[in-house]
């Protein structure tokens, strides 16, 4: 399912226009991006948790030259499904 199919399905379920539904979805995504960029954890009950996980700096090696290089630490976005979603998927 892509974004337009999701918008269409959401509009049918909520009995609203696709334009309004698309606007609401875009607002949700914008707020999610903003919260994650500020380092916040976003918990949606009955769905899951969005958060950032920091990966520490580490030593790497250039495969062509064999030179040792420092790989910088970075934040990786992560999502963990709630138990309810896992149960629905596995039933």
Query: Which are the contacts of 72, defined by CB distance < 8 A and separation ≥ 6?
Result: 57
Q: What is the pLDDT of residues 29-82, one digit of tens each?
A: 999 999 999 999 999 999 999 999 999 999 999 999 999 999 999 999 999 999
Instruction: Decide if pLDDT at 19 tops 90.
Output: yes
Question: How far is residue 45 from each of residues 6, 53, 80, measured CA to CA in Å?
Answer: 20, 20, 12
The predicted structure's pLDDT at residue 91: 82
User: Checking DSSP bridges between strand 48-55 and strand 42-44, what pairing results, if any?
Assistant: antiparallel
The predicted structure's pLDDT at residue 5: 96
The predicted structure's pLDDT at residue 74: 95
């Amino acid at each position: 399912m892509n974004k337009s199919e999701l918008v269409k399905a959401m509009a049918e379920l909520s009995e609203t226009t696709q334009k309004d539904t698309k606007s609401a979805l875009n607002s949700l995504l914008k707020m999610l991006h903003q919260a994650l960029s500020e380092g916040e954890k976003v918990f949606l009950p009955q769905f899951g948790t969005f958060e950032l996980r920091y990966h520490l700096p580490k030593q790497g090696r250039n495969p062509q030259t064999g030179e040792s290089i420092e790989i910088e630490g970075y934040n990786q976005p992560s999502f963990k499904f709630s138990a309810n979603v896992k149960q629905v998927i596995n039933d």
